[in-house]
Amino acid sequence: MPRKRGSRVGWRGGVQKIVSVLARRVTPSRPAVPTPLTKPIVPNITKRNLHLAPPFLLDDYIPRYMTLSSVDASKKRSLAYAHLRNCNLCPRLCGVNRYERTGLCLIGTEAKVNVIAPHFGEEPCIQGHHGSGSVFFSGCNLRCVFCQNHDISHQRNGMDLTPEQLGDWFLKLQQVGNVHNINLITPEHVVPQVALSILHAKDNGLTVPIIYNSSAYDSLESLGLLDGLVDIYLPDFKLWEPASSKRLLKADDYAATARESIKAMHAQVGDLCFTADGIAKKGLLVRHLVMPGYETEGAEIMRWLASEVSKDCFVNVMEQYHPDAHVGKVKRRAGGGGGATRQQQTSVANGNSPDKDLASITGEEKRYAEINRAVTPDEISYVRKAAEAAGLWRFCDPPRHDGFSL
Taken as a whole, the chain contains a residue count of 406
Is 144 within any annotated ligand binding site?
Answer: yes
Is 147 within any annotated ligand binding site?
Answer: yes
Q: Which residues contact 35 (CB under 8 A, 6 or more apart)?
A: none
287: helix, strand or coil: strand
- Using alpha carbons, select from 208, 187, 81, 67 the residue that is nearest to residue 139: 187
> Using an 8 Å Cβ cutoff, are 321 and 292 in contact?
yes
Report the alpha-carbon distance of residue 312 to residue 137 in Å, rounded. 30
| 373 to 248, 290, 293, 319, 363: CA distances (angstroms) | 15, 12, 10, 12, 19
Q: How far is CA 101 from the centre of its chain?
A: 33
Is 396 within any annotated ligand binding site?
Answer: no
Taking the CB of residue 259, how many other CB atoms lie within 10 A of it?
18
Strand partners, 380: none
Report the alpha-carbon distance of residue 331 to residue 128 in Å, rounded. 43
Annotated binding site for [4Fe-4S] cluster: 140, 144, 147
Annotated binding site: 140, 144, 147
